[in-house]
Structure 1
Amino acid sequence: METTRRQLLALAGTAIAGQAFAQSNAFPTRSIRIVVPFTPGSGSDTSARYFGDQLGAQVGQAVVVENKPGANGIIALQSVKNAPADGYTLLLASNSPMAVNPLIIRDLGYDSVKDFKPISGLTRGMNVIVVSNESRFATLEALLAAAKSQPLNVGTYSAGYQLAAAWLASMAGCAFTNVPYKGQAPIMTDVIGNQLDFALVDLGGAIQQIKSGRIKALAVSGEARNPDLPNVPTVREKGFNEYVQYSWVSFYLRSQTPDDITTKLAESLQKTLATDEARAFARKTGGELMPYPPEKMQRFHLEEIVRFRKIAAIMNIKPE
């Protein structure tokens, strides 16, 4: 009798495992959702929509982008953490919620390393310091000089940009007052309207306004000048040799998502990232591809946490 019961249980277990394999093997059978921690119009949102469309074409299903801005990305990440680990909910994440938030915010409600796993790196892009065309600041030197006598308002939309601005202020011996936004689009509106002293934002989300002459770029945060903005100097050129800052984006899943589903999504994205169209997209948005597969992206993620931890330590920044 006991042997029969064990045999039935074994058969049932085999059937369930077979059904799960069949479901994973058939993935996806319906639309996929990408959750973005920022408002439409940001560089992250643009990347989510482009690579989401490409992913949908690869797997034969619709991909829908859902913006969940607010709380430095915490709302979006908690939403994905609470979604089923079935591969149908992706997170478009950046260095801010994945590598900076854990260092400056207490009680996040998520662990960026344990709760999520990367599918693929996508792009990285330098930051840019921008001002209104009506601004009194024509150069970065003038802006920093003014900030030594009186704090200037800086618009940012995530913890990563806030830390990057504070890092520059620390190097220059001046002071900025952070004005937080939920996304880059409203920052651009206020920069154009001269409602901010300046903003530190993603170059990809600002390059068209810069090229069209709607705003002025004072400096970029890359290792070298951006080839599409050859007249805009780097912060390094202005005497801050250590100041190099890139914002990156990557797709993540819940860490419990089956490995075969993760692999299928990762392989699909690698095919897209190998195309000339993807390279053209990255160049058009002021960045470059970062086509890291899951293992390499995980190592890079951990290295970024270490890098930002060093910056936070230099500035004596602790979780609040």
Structure 2
Amino acid sequence: MRLDRSRWSGWTLALLAAALPTVAAQAESAFPEHALRVIVPFTPGSGSDNASRFFGEKLAGELGQPVVIENRPGAAGNIGLQAAKAAPADGYTIVLASNSPMCVNPLVMKDLPYDPVRDFKPISGLSRGMNVVLVPPDSPYDSLQELVAAARAAAAPMNVGTYSEGYRLAAEWLASLGGFAFANVPYKGQAPIMTDIIGGRLDFALVDLGGARELIQDGKVKALAVSGEQRNRNLPDVPTIRESGFADYVQYSWVSFYVRSETPPEATATLADALQKILDTDEARAFVARSGSELMPYAPERMAAFQRTEQDRFRRIAEAAGIRPQ
């Protein structure tokens, strides 16, 4: 029997046409094909850095590709955000960002080299944690009330250590409520602040509780107050700032993973889905419990809405404290 060449050609074309969508789908689902990196705009040792390493390790396990953590501190987070903005928008570069670079920097800094909304989009919220007011271990102050009274009476402003514009704004808010002035001493990260507060080179500091908890429990620094709605379960003897006479003061620092806004939807969805699985594990819950934080498992849309709410909140704080972009 002779084979009809025209019919055979038609069958071949039909089979190829049917296979093309499958091939395309396989190509789209290939992400990720190689290692990813997470840019952290702060030095090692902070709560943000610890979160990036934990969730980066779990993300590597979920995606089957290495995840490299790259600390790019400096300029209140701007160096890290600029590096992420300059990277290809392919999903292989993630930036861990907090309320400081994503909400506060636009309020306090002129000529910002990135736009938090236009240049980046969230792939998942991760966690939120309280701040803590610390003094050196041999400080004469045993309460926030004593510290504020001394700051009011001091001949010169006290030196306060912070490592981002978010913490500086939080300190400005406390100072405006307490009626005192301070001299901000900016750092690239929390670890050097802890060194200087232990050594008595700072009068006090406002930092992430998660990165300071062990030093507090070891007696190497003294905690006067935490910024949460309630006391931290790991430090039940440390009062809140609200309990210390500032009823309106509640402040949390949060961290989230972002990618370039032009990142393809398929890659964004892959990353977001993987992170939602990780956040819904006992291991993730145990990690944030150890650090004294809370999970913030916000999917992309919810995280974007939350960020807008936070931008409005920090704007009100900045206006109340009389802060303008400089």
Q: TM-score range by the shorter chain?
A: over 0.9
Query: The residue matched to 2:219 in structure 1 has which SS?
Result: coil
Provide the C-alpha distance between the structure 2 equivalents of 1:286 and 1:156, rounded to a whole number of angstroms: 20
Provide the C-alpha distance between the structure 2 equivalents of 1:179 and 1:137, rounded to a whole number of angstroms: 20
Aligned residue number for residue 139 of structure 1: 143
Larger Rg: 2
**Matching residue's letter, 1:250:** S
Query: The residue matched to 1:65 in structure 2 has which SS?
Result: strand
Provide the C-alpha distance between the structure 2 equivalents of 1:63 and 1:198, rounded to a whole number of angstroms: 36
Alignment of 1:6-45 (within 5 A): 22-45=26-49
Aligned residue number for residue 311 of structure 1: 317
Query: The residue matched to 1:78 in structure 2 has which SS?
Result: helix
Shift of 1:22: 4.8
Give yes or no for the alignment of 1:269 onto 2:275. yes
Aligned residue number for residue 208 of structure 1: 214
State the Cα RMSD in Å: 1.4
Provide the C-alpha distance between the structure 2 equivalents of 1:147 and 1:98, rounded to a whole number of angstroms: 31
Shift of 1:23: 4.2
Provide the C-alpha distance between the structure 2 equivalents of 1:198 and 1:94, rounded to a whole number of angstroms: 22
For each residue in 1:246-290, what CA deviation from the matched residue of structure 2 results, as whole angstroms up to 9, or x when unmatched? 000000000000011100100000001001110110011110100
Give yes or no for the alignment of 1:250 onto 2:250. no
Give yes or no for the alignment of 1:126 onto 2:130. yes
Aligned residue number for residue 9 of structure 1: none
Aligned equivalent of 1:288, options 286, 289, 294: 294
Provide the C-alpha distance between the structure 2 equivalents of 1:19 and 1:308, rounded to a whole number of angstroms: 48
For each residue in 1:127-186, what CA deviation from the matched residue of structure 2 results, as whole angstroms up to 9, or x when unmatched? 000111111211111110111022211100000000000100000011111000000000
Q: 1:20 to 1:175 in 2, by over 3 A?
A: farther
Q: 1:272 to 1:149 in 2, by over 3 A?
A: same
Provide the C-alpha distance between the structure 1 equivalents of 2:188 and 2:58, rounded to a whole number of angstroms: 26
User: Greater CA deviation, 136-145 or 243-252?
Assistant: 136-145
Q: TM-score, normalised by structure 2?
A: 0.91
Q: TM-score, normalised by structure 1?
A: 0.93
Give yes or no for the alignment of 1:198 onto 2:204. yes
| Runs of 4+ with deviation above 4 angstroms | 17-23
Shift of 1:24: 3.5
Aligned residue number for residue 76 of structure 1: 80
Provide the C-alpha distance between the structure 1 equivalents of 2:234 and 2:279, rounded to a whole number of angstroms: 21
User: Greater CA deviation, 118-127 or 24-33?
Assistant: 24-33
Provide the C-alpha distance between the structure 2 equivalents of 1:153 and 1:122, rounded to a whole number of angstroms: 32
Provide the C-alpha distance between the structure 1 equivalents of 2:317 and 2:152, rounded to a whole number of angstroms: 21
Query: The residue matched to 1:249 in structure 2 has which SS?
Result: strand
Work out the percentage of aligned pairs sharing the same amino acid. 62
**Matching residue's letter, 2:44:** P
Provide the C-alpha distance between the structure 1 equivalents of 2:69 and 2:122, rounded to a whole number of angstroms: 18
**Matching residue's letter, 1:126:** M
Aligned residue number for residue 222 of structure 1: 228
Q: 1:264 to 1:134 in 2, by over 3 A?
A: same
Q: 1:142 to 1:258 in 2, by over 3 A?
A: same
Aligned residue number for residue 302 of structure 1: 308
Provide the C-alpha distance between the structure 2 equivalents of 1:88 and 1:42, rounded to a whole number of angstroms: 24
For each residue in 1:109-134, what CA deviation from the matched residue of structure 2 results, as whole angstroms up to 9, or x when unmatched? 10001100000000000000011111
Aligned residue number for residue 183 of structure 1: 189
Q: 1:143 to 1:84 in 2, by over 3 A?
A: same
Aligned residue number for residue 232 of structure 1: 238
Aligned residue number for residue 164 of structure 1: 170
**Matching residue's letter, 1:205:** G
Answer yes or no: is the 8 Å Cα contact 2:145–2:245 preserved in 1: no
Shift of 1:233: 0.2
Aligned residue number for residue 11 of structure 1: none
Give yes or no for the alignment of 1:55 onto 2:59. yes
Provide the C-alpha distance between the structure 2 equivalents of 1:217 and 1:187, rounded to a whole number of angstroms: 14
Aligned equivalent of 1:106, options 110, 113, 120: 110
Shift of 1:238: 1.3
Query: The residue matched to 1:26 in structure 2 has which SS?
Result: coil
Provide the C-alpha distance between the structure 2 equivalents of 1:312 and 1:239, rounded to a whole number of angstroms: 21
